[in-house]
């Protein structure tokens, strides 16, 4: 086992953790929250997202760890194998960084921050409904996209490790 194998293992582990996290939101958390009325939905999302935004250490370790692991994997692959033989690792890494982390940074974080700033108790039923509509469908649609990307990246990295 060499440094590339170790780097692949750490990348697979952290990407799988992120995949599991966003998959759980796609199939359990958001469908569960969708059963709540508008006020309860927005408040429940504020609470769950608030834990993440308060830098929950295990979440941060796995989420940021996946970024570091993928960047390290790309660098190690280029340095130890050469660019011509690492195109798949570079491509998969870039897809992960843009498709999972990029969507998170450009779509989910601004949506989450907007929800965090709402004073739910001061909003009337119409405003609560509008806020939820602006948020929920877009958040869920992009979460499905990043979940599929994260799963695909994890599977391809496993295949790369298996055929090495």
**Per-residue pLDDT reduced to its tens digit, 16-35:** 999 999 999 999 999 999 99
Q: What's this model's pTM, rounded to 2 decimal places?
A: 0.93
Domain of residue 24: give its range.
Answer: 3-163
- Distance (Å, rounded) from C-alpha 164 to C-alpha 7? 13
Number of domains in the chain: 1
* pLDDT the model gives residue 164: 80
Look over the chain and give the mean of its residue pLDDT values, rounded to a whole number. Answer: 96
* pLDDT the model gives residue 85: 83
- Distance (Å, rounded) from C-alpha 107 to C-alpha 105? 6
Average pLDDT value for residue range 46-69: 96
**Closest C-alpha to 18, from 159, 160, 146:** 146
**Per-residue pLDDT reduced to its tens digit, 130-161:** 999 999 999 999 999 999 999 999 999 999 99
Asked whether 101 and 22 are in contact (CB, 8 A), the reply is no
| Measured CA distances, 115 to 4, 10, 110, 120 (Å) | 41, 33, 9, 9
Q: With residue 123 as reference, give the H or E element that holds it.
A: none
């Amino acid at each position: 086992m060499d440094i590339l194998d170790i780097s692949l293992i750490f990348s697979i582990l952290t990407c799988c953790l992120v995949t599991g996290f966003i998959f759980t939101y796609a199939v359990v958390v958001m469908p569960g929250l969708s059963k709540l009325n508008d006020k309860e939905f927005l408040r429940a999302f504020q609470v769950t997202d608030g834990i993440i935004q308060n830098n929950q250490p295990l979440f941060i370790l796995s989420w940021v760890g996946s970024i570091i692991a993928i960047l390290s994997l790309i660098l190690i692959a280029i340095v130890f194998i050469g660019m011509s033989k690492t195109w798949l690792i570079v491509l998969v890494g870039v897809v992960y960084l843009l498709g999972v982390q990029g969507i998170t940074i450009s779509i989910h974080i601004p949506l989450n921050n907007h929800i965090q700033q709402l004073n739910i108790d001061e909003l009337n039923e119409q405003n609560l409904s509008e806020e939820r509509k602006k948020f929920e469908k877009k958040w869920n649609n992009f979460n499905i996209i990043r979940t599929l990307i994260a799963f695909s990246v994890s599977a391809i990295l496993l295949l790369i490790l298996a055929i090495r």
